[in-house]
Amino acid sequence: MEINSQKNDGQLEITVKLSNEEFKPYILEGARRIANEVKLPGFRPGKAPYAVIKAKVGEMTILEEAARVAINHTIDEAIKRGATDQATIGQPNVDITKLAPDNPLEYKIKVNLLPKVTIKDYTNLAIKRPEITIPEEQINKTLEQLREANAQKVASLEPAKMGDLVIANIQISVDKVPIEGGQGQNVNIILGKDYLVPGFDQQLLGAVVGQELQFQIPYPKDHYQKALAGKLVDFKVKINEIWHRQLPKLDDQLAKNFGFENLAALKENIKDSLMLEKQRQLDNEMEIKIFEELINRASIEKIPESLINKEAEAMLDELQYNLEQNGGNLNDYLSSLKKTKEQFILEILPQAVKRVKTALIIKEITRLEGITTNREEVDKELDNLKEHYKDNPEIMSRLNMPDYREYLANVIVSNKTVRFLKDHNLVTDNKEKTAPKTTKKPDIEKPKKTTRSKK
């Protein structure tokens, strides 16, 4: 097998040539495969002589099948020899450049090179990790939300008062032109909660069931709805129902309703939950800071456009998945932004570049530090995932896919590398290094988004 390769702008182009003698066994194998698929009178499947198969389907059909077989058998070796000291990433593109009777087979491979990363001083960045505190006000706010969620409601024909739940139809317009998305039927409004805009709920005080109200409210100049910011907005409201609400007392009985011994135990649980959530948020923020600093310090070869575009497409797929999980869809989301898919992808390209650079840095530090995993670790994590998702047939089928173990091993190694970087780069105010308390779980729903490198 003759191989010639050249590098061009982050891409490796390899020309592969199989001589007549090297190609001949693949021609016979191609003919045999065709014979298994084509009915030939007088012969069992796969047993017809070459001349009979050739007469039936034509020589070029055999050669085309032979080329597919030959490429499948030789491409990995060709890339390995052509790439020499640099890894490749992503799926290669293959074009057959010469295929004719009594001639060598020639094909061309184009594959992205994994950009080389040079990085020094990736430990001891001394990034300060703030201490986590949970203010008493935050705990009290959560307790108030629990009271609100467990309020007793009684239908009422009396005038609406502060704290009542009002169910109403709403129409919003500016200069007699209805606002898009400003019409609602049977909207729940709790008086005293600043629904829509400050002052709206005050207009409903004293209203009774069946009453129709019309009023105007000036919207703040910095309102998030740009179409309404700084304008005098017209409201039409019809009161459909009024419910008096009585909140439960903030005492031990409230805690017992949630399965806790007393109010102190409930407050402690709330504090722990808030602490855990803040811990996760802080871990993500610290991770971003670490990689922002490492990206600034690293020297990275030019990244192929195809790799960046692929990452942007992956980000779009992730967005679509998240929207669908919450009952939405990508088309409606893009319409709300008044953007096309192409425009949105252009906007997220800078973030895609950051994600690619982060992945390359993780890969290089993993190599430098010799971070690995083993069968026992992969088995343990896979068993945990299967136990967690045992009632989800779709996810279970993905967990049982042959290539999922390799994907999971890559996730485990990447998480180890991220933990290594946090251990060696985060310091508390007293300068002691601190390790993260949470680790990432693999993206079970999208294992196909990982890319493999060939070395």
Side-chain-side CA neighbours of 141 within 13 Å: the count stands at: 6
Say whether both 347 and 435 belong to one domain: yes
Kindly list the distances between the CA atom of residue 393 and the CA atoms of 40, 91, 390, 444, in Å, as whole numbers in the listed order: 43, 29, 7, 13
Note down the domain range covering 68: 2-113
Say whether both 104 and 130 belong to one domain: no
Q: Could you write out the DSSP letters of every residue in 288-337?
A: HHHHHHHHHH-EEPPPPHHHHHHHHHHHHHHHHHHHHHTT--HHHHHHHH
Say whether both 277 and 232 belong to one domain: no
Predicted local distance difference test score (pLDDT) of residue 117? 93
How many domains does the chain contain in total?
A: 4
Q: Can you tell me whether residue 41 is helix, strand or coil?
A: coil
Q: Could you write out the DSSP letters of every residue in 137-155?
A: HHHHHHHHHHHHHT-EEEE
**CA dist., res. 166 & res. 245, Å (int):** 10
196 or 65: which leads in pLDDT? 65
Say whether both 144 and 158 belong to one domain: no
Looking at the domain assignment, is residue 119 inside a domain?
no
Predicted local distance difference test score (pLDDT) of residue 224? 78
Say whether both 182 and 166 belong to one domain: yes
Looking at the domain assignment, is residue 252 inside a domain?
no
Q: What is the CATH number of the domain that holds 9?
A: 3.30.70.1050
**Confidence tier at 120 by pLDDT (50, 70, 90):** confident
Q: Could you write out the DSSP letters of every residue in 169-198?
A: EEEEEETTEEEEEEEEEEEEEETTS--SST
Q: What is the CATH number of the domain that holds 353?
A: 1.10.3120
Say whether both 288 and 341 belong to one domain: no
Pick the closest to residue 48 from 62, 32, 37 (CA basis).
Answer: 32
Say whether both 50 and 178 belong to one domain: no
Say whether both 81 and 143 belong to one domain: no
Looking at the domain assignment, is residue 254 inside a domain?
no
* CB-based contact 16:108 (threshold 8 Å): yes
Q: Can you tell me whether residue 61 is helix, strand or coil?
A: helix
Indicate if the pLDDT at residue 105 is higher than 90: yes
**CA dist., res. 364 & res. 382, Å (int):** 26
Looking at the domain assignment, is residue 118 inside a domain?
no
Most confident of 35-49, 50-64, 268-282: 268-282
Say whether both 71 and 17 belong to one domain: yes
Joined together, the tokens standing for residue 94 give 């293959």
Say whether both 215 and 306 belong to one domain: no
Cα-atom radius of gyration of the chain, to the nearest Å? 32
Q: Mean pLDDT across the stretch 247-261?
A: 92
Indicate if the pLDDT at residue 432 is higher than 70: no
Say whether both 196 and 281 belong to one domain: no
Looking at the domain assignment, is residue 291 inside a domain?
yes
452 or 349: which leads in pLDDT? 349
Looking at the domain assignment, is residue 255 inside a domain?
no
Predicted local distance difference test score (pLDDT) of residue 46? 66
Looking at the domain assignment, is residue 355 inside a domain?
yes
Q: Which residues partner with 127 through β-bridges? A: 426
Looking at the domain assignment, is residue 174 inside a domain?
yes
